[in-house]
Amino acid sequence: MKKIFFRNIRKILQFKNKIEQSLNVKINLEPDFVIIEGSALDEDIAEDIFEAILLGFNQKIALTLKEEGVSFEKVNIKKYVRESRVKTAMARVIGKEGRTKKVLSELTGCAIAIKDNIVGIIGKTDDLDIALLAVTSLIRGKPHAKVYSSLERTRAERKFVDEDDLGLKINFIKPASKNKIKQKIKKEAL
């Protein structure tokens, strides 16, 4: 049994039945908290789904967290910049009319939501690491063009390296990129 405190129970109430059915958990709503009963893994997944919904993700994206290999991470902007720079850092991640957020989502394959001073990211574990690096780079002030180009380069390298590859294609990659790909392959092998 897990007891979680939330401020906005109304949003959770809308999705309660759907989450109970998909995760085999029992959810009891109290005025200031939620009690989740089920297996430990299902309780943790339900908690992540609730946090994602409260952060602004839609129900469909939040429910992908029950799939294997999909994770949810939160980045607190205040950890990376001074209090006076939080709004600027949020604006850098959102971009004009939400363009930066949209481009980051497209290039990383992750869903991104921003609320208050928290950036939430949902995606496959490998994609999530790349998205986290991009978001934190933008928060710290790295130029958008550099972040985009590194994301495009990483995306191209990942498409080029096939999981069933025997290593023969690496000879056709630029020498600077070979080391990065070899490091990624070693990390995946571990």
Residues 16 and 97 placed together within one structural domain of the fold = no
Q: Which range has the worst mean pLDDT, 98-102, 129-133, 180-184?
A: 180-184
- Contact between 112 and 105 under an 8 Å Cβ cutoff? The reply is yes
Higher pLDDT, 167 or 92: 92
- pLDDT of 86 > 60? The answer is yes
Residues 79 and 155 placed together within one structural domain of the fold = yes
Does residue 36 fall inside a structural domain?
yes
Residues 75 and 33 placed together within one structural domain of the fold = no
Q: Which range has the worst mean pLDDT, 6-10, 34-38, 62-66, 127-131?
A: 6-10
Q: Which range has the worst mean pLDDT, 34-38, 75-79, 140-144?
A: 34-38
Residues 82 and 111 placed together within one structural domain of the fold = yes
Does residue 32 fall inside a structural domain?
yes
Please state, for a pLDDT cut of 90, what percent of the chain lies above it: 42
Cα 28 to chain centroid, rounded: 27
Residues 60 and 86 placed together within one structural domain of the fold = no
Does residue 139 fall inside a structural domain?
yes
Average pLDDT, the chain: 82
d(CA 185, CA 41): 29
- Contact between 160 and 149 under an 8 Å Cβ cutoff? The reply is no
Residues 140 and 75 placed together within one structural domain of the fold = yes
**Whole-number pLDDT of residue 171:** 45
Residues 81 and 44 placed together within one structural domain of the fold = no
Angle, helix 40-55 to helix 9-23, in steps of 10 degrees: 140
DSSP-assigned states of every residue in 15-34: HHHHHHHHHT-EEEE-SSEE
Does residue 168 fall inside a structural domain?
no
d(CA 123, CA 135): 14
Residues 104 and 157 placed together within one structural domain of the fold = yes
CATH number at residue 101: 3.30.1370.10
Residues 128 and 60 placed together within one structural domain of the fold = no
Does residue 109 fall inside a structural domain?
yes
Q: Exposed/middle/buried for 11, CB within 10 Å: 0-12, 13-18, 19+?
A: middle
15-72 residue pLDDT tens: 788 888 888 888 888 777 788 888 888 888 888 988 898 898 988 999 999 899 999 9
- pLDDT of 172 > 60? The answer is no
Does residue 133 fall inside a structural domain?
yes
Task: Give how many domains the chain has, as a whole number.
Answer: 2
Kindly state the greatest CA–CA separation across the chain.
61
In three-state secondary structure terms, 144 is helix
- pLDDT of 181 > 90? The answer is no
Does residue 34 fall inside a structural domain?
yes
d(CA 21, CA 6): 21
d(CA 7, CA 16): 16
Q: Exposed/middle/buried for 32, CB within 10 Å: 0-12, 13-18, 19+?
A: exposed
Residues 98 and 33 placed together within one structural domain of the fold = no
Average pLDDT score over residue span 92-108:
93
Residues 24 and 43 placed together within one structural domain of the fold = yes
- pLDDT of 92 > 60? The answer is yes
Residues 84 and 141 placed together within one structural domain of the fold = yes
Residue where one domain finishes, among candidates 17, 49, 67: 67
Does residue 112 fall inside a structural domain?
yes
Q: Which range has the worst mean pLDDT, 70-74, 85-89, 185-189?
A: 185-189
Residue where one domain finishes, among candidates 52, 67, 82: 67
Q: Which domain holds residue 134?
A: 71-162
